[in-house]
Amino acid sequence: MKLLRISLAFYLLLCAIQHGIAQDLIQGQSAKKTTKQLAPALITFGDSIIDPGNNNVQKTIIKCNFLPYGMDFVTHRPTGRFCNGRIPTDFLASKLGIKELLPAYFGTNLTNQDLITGVSFASGGTGFDPLTPKIASVISMPEQLEKFKEYQGKVRSILGEKKAAELFSKSVYGVIAGSDDVANTYFATPFRKSQYDSSQYADLMLRGASNFLEQLIQLGARKIAIVGVPPIGCVPSQRTLGGGILRGCAPVHNEIARLYNARLAVEVEKIKKRHQSQNIVLVFADIYDFLYDMIEHPTKYGFEVSNKGCCGTGLLEVSVLCNPLTPTVCTDVSKHVFWDSYHPTEKAYSILSDYIFQKLVTYLEN
């Protein structure tokens, strides 16, 4: 038992050292540009899909700053990204010509250059339902906005009021949340399902999203992309929990996602109309059909497996369940759509990011 304690302590120390080295290397990557710069900064809010490590310093079990997470990252070390490598915001920051990696705002030693080129406030496990972040003990969407205000103050102190205001208006803002509302709050707890049917819960999520966008606009954002909820019923963990013996896509999960996405598309148009005098570029990026097709027809996209994650059995492992003691990691990650039972692989994220970027680029070049 004493030996086990020593081994565990050594492992945790090693993880901490590795994380520190990884952050130093990430800082070096963040200033690099690969293409024509389409925006001065990328600033993002949301959940684990785009959390680059904000949860590392939160008192929550929803974190992944340990191997095998990060095994295919540029440093080959865990950073807190819920993936084997890079996540969508890294790819998008590069495609926008800003920098190669988008850093976390929390728990990192950010330089002035890091700050003025954008950060992520996203927190794995959060959502638009106020109950969702409370259950997971993570950073809520309103709290992310409060930290954005703090960030704005730092940028103003670096650039001055006039240049900072220009940066905030020309930056690209990304928002993605909602999956945890459906999977972890509505279906995994008894609190909401007894109060709301699928349609009513989609409306609850919509109100949260709409309020968030309105506040973001009030804080100076002018170029905003909000990403819809993916086919959450088709991720491996939800297939296992709600897909029956054959582990098909959980239908009710996807029903809420479709309802929310359809209503969000309408709400986005309403918000644009309310702010038409402010030159708002507000884009709804619906990824549902694209990702559903990738899952249903993986070979079209260069994959072989789409109903299991790469980590462990691939049926339920995610976050702390996907760890160095997990019996196995698949031999070829590139064949899998999903890294763990909830999050796509770097390769799948790269393909998805290309799709999202093509949706956005025409708006950004104007």
- The CA-based angle 170-216-204, given to 5 degrees, is 140
Furthest-apart CA atoms within the chain: distance in Å: 68
**Single-letter amino acid, residue 174:** G
What is the distance between the alpha carbons of residues 142 and 139, in angstroms, rounded to a whole number? 8
Q: Which residues of 54-81 are buried (b: 16+ CB within 10 A; e: fewer)?
A: bbbebebebbbbbbbbbbbbbbebbbbb
**Residue located via tokens 């929803």:** 62
Would you say how long the chain is, in residues?
A: 366
Measure Cα distances from 44 to 162, 175, 201, 225, 284 in Å: 22, 6, 24, 9, 15
What is the distance between the alpha carbons of residues 211 and 355, in angstroms, rounded to a whole number? 27
Please enumerate in sequence order all residues whose Cβ is within 8 A of that of 343, keeping only pairs 6 or more positions apart, or say none: 48, 49, 82, 83, 309, 318
Q: Which residues of 110-123 are buried (b: 16+ CB within 10 A; e: fewer)?
A: beeebbbbbbbbbb
Q: For residue 296, give the 3-state DSSP assignment.
A: helix
Q: Which residues are catalytic?
A: 48, 340, 343
- Which residue stretches of 191-319 are H helix? 198-218, 236-242, 251-274, 288-296
What is the distance between the alpha carbons of residues 355 and 237, in angstroms, rounded to a whole number? 24
Count Cβ atoms within 10 A of the Cβ of residue 232 and give its class: 0-12 exposed, 13-18 middle, 19 or more buried: buried
